[in-house]
């Protein structure tokens, strides 16, 4: 996605919209409720890893990705937790487990972007995309720490999706360890 993003990032309005759209592809709650197929984990990993390694031009772009992830986590994450805790059967356990893998990928992306660009949680929370970009938001995005090939060891069923009920429950427990 790097070459495509290089072409898009010359126009501020398009690059932020592009970044938001990429992250929103992973938001199951924004998609139709009629869609009962599990989220494609390989596709989610592809999007997340591309977002992790993009050559961002301005720190505002990194903040935009993190802001969008926070919005997804505050809506999809809560609905996923409620479905898991209440035993809601409107979605199958397979869909819930797959959604939890995608949520874990988003959390990992956020943590890695914050680490790579030396951003604090306070800086990320203070970002407001509706506010006209100030000098701080428009400064060049400089990675203070480089990432090698990233391993997703803390996501149990990323490589091979959970196959049975026990594995699905293990995946959900990895995301929500204090839940029943």
Q: What one-character-per-residue DSSP string does 74-85 give?
A: IIIIHHHHHHHH
> What per-residue confidence (pLDDT) applies to 134?
52
Structure tokens at 158: 């990323």
Are the CB atoms for 130 and 148 separated by under 8 Å? no
Distance CA 169, CA 67 (A): 29
In Å, what is the CA distance from 68 to each residue of 26, 94, 117, 160, 172?
11, 25, 17, 27, 23
Instruction: Give the C-alpha separation, 76 to 151, whole Å.
Output: 24
pLDDT band at 162 (very low <50, low <70, confident <90, very high): confident
Joined tokens for residue 59: 């720190």
Cα separation, 110 vs 130, in Å, equals 20
Q: pLDDT at residue 66 above 90?
A: yes
In Å, what is the CA distance from 27 to each residue of 106, 112, 164, 167? 10, 19, 24, 23
Whether the predicted model's global pTM rises above the 0.85 cut = no
Predicted confidence band at 40 (pLDDT cuts at 50, 70, 90)?
confident
Rounded Cα–Cα distance for residues 82 and 139 (Å): 39
At residue 109 the predicted structure's pLDDT band, cuts being 50, 70 and 90, is very high
Instruction: Give SS3 for 164.
Output: coil
């Amino acid at each position: 996605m790097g070459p495509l993003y290089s072409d898009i990032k010359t126009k501020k309005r398009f690059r932020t919209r592009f970044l938001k759209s990429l992250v929103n592809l992973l938001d199951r709650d924004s998609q139709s409720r009629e869609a009962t197929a599990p989220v494609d984990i390989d596709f989610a990993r592809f999007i997340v890893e591309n977002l992790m390694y993009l050559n961002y031009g301005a720190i505002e772009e990194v903040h935009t990705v993190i802001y969008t992830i926070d919005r997804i986590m505050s809506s999809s994450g809560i609905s996923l937790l409620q479905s898991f805790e209440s035993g809601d059967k409107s979605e199958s356990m397979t869909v819930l487990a797959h959604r939890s893998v995608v949520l874990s990928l988003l959390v990992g992306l956020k943590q890695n972007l914050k680490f790579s660009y030396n951003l604090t949680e306070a800086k990320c929370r203070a970002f407001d995309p509706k506010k006209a970009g100030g000098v701080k938001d428009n400064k060049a995005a400089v990675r203070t720490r480089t990432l090698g090939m990233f391993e997703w060891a803390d996501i149990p069923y990323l490589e091979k999706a959970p196959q049975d009920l026990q594995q699905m429950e293990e995946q959900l427990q990895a995301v929500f360890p204090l839940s029943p």
